[in-house]
Amino acid sequence: MSGRRSTSERLEQLRTRVIIERDGTSSSDFPFHNSSRYPDLDPIAEFRKKLKVKIIRKAQYDMEFDLIGVNTAIANALRRIMISEVPTMAIEKVYIYDNTSIIQDEVFAHRLGLIPIKADPDMFYFKQENEGPTDMNTIVFKISHECHYNAKARDDETNPKNLYVGHNLLSASLIWDPKGEQAERFADNPIQSVHDDILIAQMRPGQRVELEAHCEKGIGKEHAKWSPVATASYRLMPEIILKEEITGDLADKFAACFTKGVVEVVQEEVNGEMIKKAKVVNPRIDTVSREVLRHKEFEDKVQLTRIRDHFIFTVESTGILDSERIFIDSIHIIQSKCARLLLALENKLRPPDKDENMMSVDT
């Protein structure tokens, strides 16, 4: 890149990139500050053309994908919805018949609530406040657990693992008690906790737990236990711009300033001499530690930026829903929100003689 750039180039960079400087970013967190130069929102056709979703990594409960060509607000809305508005099932009410463990009832209930329950939330309704539990809004689990001495243990045994039977109360002890038609409806994938090795309480002989736990449908906004994700977040695509070539031993030092694999040092023949040269290979995996900006020798040779409309999303599911399902659900939710907003706007814009409840839209 040449040293001098035109103003429009600089403005374009400001618009499309976040410039990472030593002491701060070029960003202002005031919304749409930079997008004020947009010629309004892109026409839908152009938007379609620009929009890209690339799945980079996909495991069942963990995925990384790129969302390219959308406005920050939309990407952020998706992130927020994934965290707080995608519904799941979680234990909400616990009826304790007997609990002689050292975990107090409230704490016990709280711990149970945080256990992810593998149940498709779409198969259930939200339980309304005035509603009793039915097989369509509640899943019932039971725990009946007691700790004993292990009769087979040696006399000098000190390891609780061998000394006692059932000294760890694990989430596997949550036994689903199908109600109504639930047994048929979930015949293919019976309801259970996602992990069966979550420690709920440690027990000692003579201690007993007997309880009934009711799962209800809810969203993360209400309580974090309903959040389907451990976290969902995005980062912007890093971009490393070399303004000058970095050669020789400096190249090694330069490469060391980035995450391994971002910058490679290649041998290049210049005027018949082999010269080491730094080459940006994979900026995507860079953590943008800004280490390079600390060093005087790279001043003015490198510019770190991040692409404003290239979002690298990471969705880490708690295991209740597949990670892609969470993303798709979030899109559905944003769609319905938009639809509701449009309807409301429409109602608002309609001549006032039609007196109707404007917000009478239900999903």
Partner 1 sequence: MGKKTVTFADDKTSENVEKSYEQAKRTTATEKRITDPIKNVEDKWQLLPAFLKVKGLVKQHIDSFNYFIETELKKIIRANDMITSDVDPSFWLKYLDIKVGPPERPDNDHEAHQSVFTPHECRLRDLTYSGNIYVDVEYVRGKTRVIRKDTIIGKLPIMLRSSKCVLSGKSESELAKMFECPLDPGGYFIIKGTEKVILIQEQLSKNRIIVEGDKKGLVQAYVTSSTHERKSKTYIVAKNDAKNDKIMLKHNSISEEIPIVIVMKAMGIQSDKEIAQLISGGNQTFLNMFSPNIEHAAKIKIFTQKQALDYIGSKVKVTRKIANVRRPMAEEALEILATVVLAHVPVVDLNFQPKVIYIAIMIRRVLMALANENLVDDRDYVGNKRLELAGSLLSLLFEDLFKKFNFDLKLNIDKLLKKPNRASEFDAHKQLMQHGDCITNGFVRAIATGNWSLKRFKMERAGITHVLSRLSYISALGTMTRITSQYEKTRKISGPRALQPSQWGMLCPADTPEGEACGLVKNLALMTHITTDDEEEPLRRLAFNLGVEDVSSLTGSELYQPNSYMVFLNGLMLGITQQPTGFVKDFRSLRRCGRISEFVSIYVNHHHMAVHIASDGGRVCRPLIIVESQIPKVTSEHIKKLKQDQMKFTDFLAQGLVEYLDVNEENDSNIAIYEREIVPQTTHLEIEPFTILGAVAGLIPYPHHNQSPRNTYQCAMGKQAIGAIAYNQLRRIDTLLYLMVYPQQPMVKTKTIELVGYDRLPAGQNAIVAVMSYSGYDIEDALVLNKASVDRGFGRCQVMRKHVALMKRYSNGSFDRIGDPPVATELQTGPSAERFSILEKDGIAGVGERVSPGQVIVNRHTPTNLNANIPINMPIANAPTIQFTWKHAPLSYKSPEPGYIDKVCITTTEQEQTLIKVLIRQTRIPELGDKFSSRHGQKGVCGIIVPQEDMPFADTGICPDIIMNPHGFPSRMTVGKMIELLAGKAGVLKGELQYGTAFGGSKVEDMSKILIECGYNYSGKDYVTSGITGEPLSAYIFFGPVYYQKLKHMVVDKMHARARGPRAVLTRQPTEGRSRDGGLRLGEMERDCLVGYGASMLLMERLMISSDQFDVHVCEKCGLLGYRGWCQHCKSSKFMVTMQMPYAAKLLFQELQSMNIVPKLILEEF
Which position among 24, 39, 272, 352 is part of the footprint of partner 1 (CB under 8 A)? 24
Q: Which residues pair with 235 in a beta bridge?
A: 312
Chain-centroid distance of CA 164 in Å reads 39
155 binds partner 1 (CB under 8 A): no
320 binds partner 1 (CB under 8 A): no
Coil, helix or strand at residue 194: coil
The whole-angstrom separation of Cα 226 and Cα 90 is 6
The whole-angstrom separation of Cα 337 and Cα 284 is 33
CB 322 within 8 A of CB 61: yes
213, 214, 220, 221: CA torsion to nearest 10: -110
- Which among 99-107, 121-129, 172-180, 322-330 is the span making contact with partner 1, rule CB under 8 A? 99-107
- Which among 19-27, 200-208, 271-279, 340-348 is the span making contact with partner 1, rule CB under 8 A? 19-27
CB 286 within 8 A of CB 235: no
Which position among 63, 67, 75, 201 is part of the footprint of partner 1 (CB under 8 A)? 75
Nearer to partner 1, 23 or 197 (CB): 23
**Residues in region 289-308 near partner 1 by CB under 8 A:** 289-291, 294, 306
- Which among 2-10, 20-28, 200-208, 332-340 is the span making contact with partner 1, rule CB under 8 A? 20-28
- Which among 17-25, 194-202, 244-252, 323-331 is the span making contact with partner 1, rule CB under 8 A? 17-25
**Shortest spacing between CB 184 and partner 1, in angstroms:** 34
Q: Which amino acid, residue 58?
A: K
Burial class (CB in 10 A: 0-12, 13-18, 19+), 211: buried
Which position among 91, 94, 288, 321 is part of the footprint of partner 1 (CB under 8 A)? 288
Burial class (CB in 10 A: 0-12, 13-18, 19+), 360: exposed
The whole-angstrom separation of Cα 213 and Cα 92 is 7
**Residues in region 228-267 near partner 1 by CB under 8 A:** 231-236, 259
C-alpha triplet 321, 327, 328: angle, nearest 5°? 95
Which position among 76, 150, 168, 192 is part of the footprint of partner 1 (CB under 8 A)? 76
Q: Which residues pair with 204 in a beta bridge?
A: none
Q: Spell out, one character per residue from 165 to 204, where the chain touches partner 1: x when CB under 8 A holds, - when not.
A: ----------------------------------------
Q: Which residues bind partner 1 (CB under 8 A)?
A: 18, 20, 23-31, 33, 72-73, 75-77, 79-80, 83-84, 96, 99, 102, 104-107, 110, 114, 220-221, 223-225, 227, 231-236, 259, 287-291, 294, 306, 314, 316
